[in-house]
Structures are given as structure tokens and as C-alpha cells.
């Protein structure tokens, strides 16, 4: 038994193989990288798009004509794809999670405070 394996036995109370340790470390990296994620993925943005559409459809304070126009616009396949792509590129994960938690269309405005800060570019 090597000194290194003795340290593993002493620190964990049982012997670990190199493969188990490597697998554990690899899983830890994936877990930690997911926790530090700040951008939403396609599925989250798609879910948010569907949720926002439902909020518009269920909004009783909105005029029916405006409601129908908004729904027709955002439910067109090409528009929907563009909105989802824009979400992935321009929204924060926290903003999307906020949008998914809202129960009224008018409450979505609150989620803009979670939008990523834009860097000033010299022009």
C-alpha cells in the first residue's frame, strides 16, 4: 500500500479506487458548472415563451384585439424562434426563472431588473 492510498483510507475511512475518485471529481465539475450558470438554455427560454403566451391569453385586463394581435405575432414560428434565440443570447437565467414564476402578464415587468447589464461600447 502506498503512502497516497493510506492517506485516502485515513481521510475517508475506506479505500477508494482511482476510477471512483475520477468519476466523483468529474461529476462534481458538471454539478458546479451548472450551479454557476448564468445564461438560460433553449429549453428554459422555450418554456418561458410558452408561459408568457399563456399569460397574455389569460390576461383579462388586456383588450381582446391587442391580445389577439400579440398572440398571433409571438406564436408565428419564425417570430417564436427569434424570441427564443434572443432570450438565450440576451437574458439572464435569473430573469427567465422570474418570468416563469409570474402569474400575470403585468408582473413580467419586474423581471427586467434581472436583465444582464449591457457593457458600454465605444463608437
pLDDT in tens, 68-81: 999 999 999 999 99
In a domain, 63, yes or no: yes
The span from the CA of 110 to the CA of 32, in Å, is 28
User: C-alpha cell of 58?
Assistant: 389569460
Rounded mean pLDDT of 92-96? 97
Res 5 pLDDT > 80: no
Query: What is the pLDDT, as a whole number, of residue 75?
Result: 92
Residue 24: inside a domain, yes or no?
no
User: How does residue 10 score in pLDDT terms, banded at 50, 70 and 90?
Assistant: very low
What's the mean pLDDT in 58-69?
96
Residue 47 within any structural domain of the chain: yes
Residue 98: what pLDDT?
Answer: 98
Domain coverage including residue 50:
42-114
Tell me, yes or no, whether 83 lies in a domain: yes
Contact (Cβ atoms closer than 8 angstroms) between residue 40 and residue 92: yes
Q: How many domains, in total, are found in the chain?
A: 1
Question: Does 26 reside within a domain?
Answer: no
Could you tell me the pTM of the whole model?
Answer: 0.67
Amino acid at each position: 500500500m502506498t503512502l497516497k492510498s493510506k492517506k485516502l483510507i485515513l481521510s475517508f475511512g475506506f479505500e477508494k479506487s482511482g476510477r471512483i475518485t475520477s468519476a466523483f471529481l468529474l461529476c462534481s465539475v458538471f454539478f458546479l458548472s451548472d450551479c454557476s450558470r448564468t445564461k438560460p438554455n433553449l429549453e428554459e427560454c422555450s418554456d418561458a415563451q410558452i408561459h408568457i403566451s399563456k399569460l397574455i391569453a389569460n390576461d383579462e385586463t388586456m383588450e381582446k384585439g391587442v391580445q389577439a394581435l400579440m398572440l398571433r405575432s409571438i406564436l408565428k414560428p419564425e417570430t417564436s424562434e427569434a424570441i427564443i434565440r434572443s432570450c438565450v443570447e440576451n437574458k439572464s437565467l435569473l430573469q427567465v426563472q422570474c418570468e416563469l414564476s409570474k402569474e400575470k402578464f403585468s408582473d413580467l415587468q419586474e423581471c427586467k431588473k434581472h436583465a444582464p447589464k449591457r457593457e458600454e461600447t465605444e463608437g
